[in-house]
Each structure stands twice: as C-alpha cells, then as structure tokens.
Amino acid sequence: MTNVQNATNPPAPDVAGRYALYQNVPVAVQAIDLVKDYGTGESTVHALRGVNVSFAKGAFTAIMGPSGSGKSTLMHTLAGLDSSTSGKIMFEGRDITKLKDNDLTLLRRTSIGFIFQSFNLLPMFTAEQNILMPLTLAGAKPDRAWFARLVSTLGLSDRLNHRPNELSGGQQQRVAIARALISKPSVVFADEPTGNLDSVSSAEVLDFLRRSVKDLGQTIIMVTHDAIAASYADRAIVFADGRIVADQPHPQADQMGELLTQVRTNALAAASAAPAAPLAESAR
C-alpha cells in the first residue's frame, strides 16, 4: 500500500512526475508552486502551500482529503474562478495567472466546464435552456448532434422542458453535467458532484463521467470525499493541509479508505505535536 507522507513534510516538488504513468502524456493543466493564502497577517489561512501537480489529458483524476485541506481552492484556482497568491497554472500552454480578465473569461467559456455539488441551475429556465446557457451567454450556436448525444447518454431526453424544481437531484446533476460538457471544454472540474445524491444517482453520474473519459477522451478532475467515487477515477490525489500527501494510480475503494484514515491520523498527530493554538474568541 502507498505510504502517506507526513502532512508536515512537503512531498518532492513534482509528485506527478514520479509516476511513469503520467510521463510522456500530454498535460491538460498543471500547477507549479501554486500558493493560495486567504487573508493577511496573523489570520492568514494557507489554503495551498506550494502545490506541484500535472493532470494528464484524457484522464479522470479524483482529489480527496479532509475538509478544509484545500481541495476546492485548488479546483477554483485551476479553473480560473479564483486568483492565486503565487505560482503558475499552465493551461493549454499558457500561464492563466497572467491572463487579463477578458481573456480569462473567454478561456473559461471555451475550455473549462465546472460542475458544482449544489448543481447551480437557473430555476426559471428549462433543462434544455440550462444546458445551452453557456453557449447562449457566449452567443454561440449549439452543435445539435452533440447536444442530442449528451442528452440521450445522460437520459434526459424526456426531461428537457422541465424546470429544475420538477427534476430529481440526480436529474438536476445530469443537467449540470450536460451544461458543463456542451461547449466541449478541454477540462471538466467537478467539486463533489455526487455530494447531494443518493447512491443510485451517484453511480449514474460517476458512470457517465467515467464513460466520457473513456469514450470521448474528456479530461476530468473531481473532488470527492467518497472512496467509492474515487475508484471510478484513473488516479487519486490526497490533500492534507494545503499539500499533496499521496498520489495513487488506479485507486481502489478500500485502499483509498485506508489512505484517508492514515492522512487523518497523521493530521491529528501533527496537530497534537504543535504548540496549542490560542482559541478564537468564538470558540471559548
């Protein structure tokens, strides 16, 4: 089984590079020494502490780790939804941390799909209108054949005229997935896409994500706290305290469960070894 590096001990700079599996394959997106701090002074939160990672094109990567370890921050910065404090994010050969707002908006529209845990559908619009929204906003014509393929693969053909409140959670998430894929983005980010779904809907959603990687060559980066969800991925990365502490090819559910337990144990040990932090006013 893979050893988890101690959370207080930063891994070697290029964790991904240590795996032959990820060498000699085209990279979709890469973080180089990526740092993200929230706030300043004593109250600074170090959400990303110098992350180095490459995500291969056409691969499905899961990101796991305890709550607050920086998973969402990584996704938001990689997707250009949030700024970084320092470091680079290489996307299609460009460092997106250097892009002007307009160029970043354009890149997000054309090359990035994002699926949120809470679906984020527009309640006043039908499923079809929601799916087509990114193109509507961009003033672009939909590829009807691609739309039809997405809708039928996702089992939404007879739900297109329904509004979100007339759809089940699983159906809403499938609409959100179709919306993320409609513009044929080069990378799809999914932040706990099955977090609000029952196990049957989860399996449907994960199955679709898996197939879109296998059959369509889609690149997917997915945050999940669920070891079973991670087992659908080609690779699982584990975060702790703003750093990558494990990088597992072909993750299995039981193995990821063990890894996560080990990470939590290490985090607890590190916390108890550190000098006791003063309690915040609200915690007293």
Ligand X SMILES: Nc1ncnc2c1ncn2[C@@H]1O[C@H](COP(=O)(O)OP(=O)(O)O)[C@@H](O)[C@H]1O
Q: Which residues bind ligand X (CB under 6 A)?
A: 38-39, 45, 47, 65, 67-73
Contact status: 117 vs Mg ion (CB under 5 A)? no
Nearer Cβ to ligand X, position 68 or 142? 68
87 binds, among Mg ion, ligand X, none (CB under 5 to 8 A by kind): none
Q: Which sign, positive or negative, has the C-alpha torsion 160, 165, 170, 172?
A: positive
183 binds, among Mg ion, ligand X, none (CB under 5 to 8 A by kind): none
Nearer Cβ to ligand X, position 131 or 263? 263
Among 54, 29, 27, which Cα is nearest to 244's?
54
Contact status: 72 vs Mg ion (CB under 5 A)? yes
Among 73, 169, 74, which Cα is nearest to 121's?
169
Task: For residue 60, give the 3-state DSSP assignment.
Answer: strand
Give least dist CB 66 to ligand X, A: 7
Give least dist CB 229 to ligand X, A: 15
Nearer Cβ to ligand X, position 46 or 109? 46
Single-letter code of the amino acid located at 40: T
CA dihedral 130, 134, 135, 137 (to 10 degrees): 100
Nearer Cβ to ligand X, position 38 or 103? 38
Give least dist CB 174 to Mg ion, A: 21
Task: List CB contacts of 23: < 8 A, sequence separation 6 or more.
Answer: 17
Nearer Cβ to Mg ion, position 75 or 151? 75
92 binds, among Mg ion, ligand X, none (CB under 5 to 8 A by kind): none
Give least dist CB 125 to ligand X, A: 28
38 binds, among ligand X, Mg ion, none (CB under 5 to 8 A by kind): ligand X
Give least dist CB 119 to Mg ion, A: 15
Nearer Cβ to ligand X, position 11 or 70? 70
Nearer Cβ to ligand X, position 71 or 174? 71
217 binds, among Mg ion, ligand X, none (CB under 5 to 8 A by kind): none
Task: For residue 73, give the 3-state DSSP assignment.
Answer: helix
Crossing angle between the packed helical segments 127-138 and 144-153, to the nearest 10 degrees: 140
Give least dist CB 238 to ligand X, A: 11
271 binds, among Mg ion, ligand X, none (CB under 5 to 8 A by kind): none
User: Helices (DSSP H) in the chain: which residue ranges?
Assistant: 71-78, 101-111, 127-138, 144-153, 169-181, 199-214, 227-230, 253-273
73 binds, among Mg ion, ligand X, none (CB under 5 to 8 A by kind): ligand X
Among 220, 243, 275, 279, which Cα is nearest to 53's?
243
* Pair 79, 112: CB distance under 8 Å: yes
Among 94, 107, 97, 76, which Cα is nearest to 33's?
97
Contact status: 69 vs Mg ion (CB under 5 A)? no
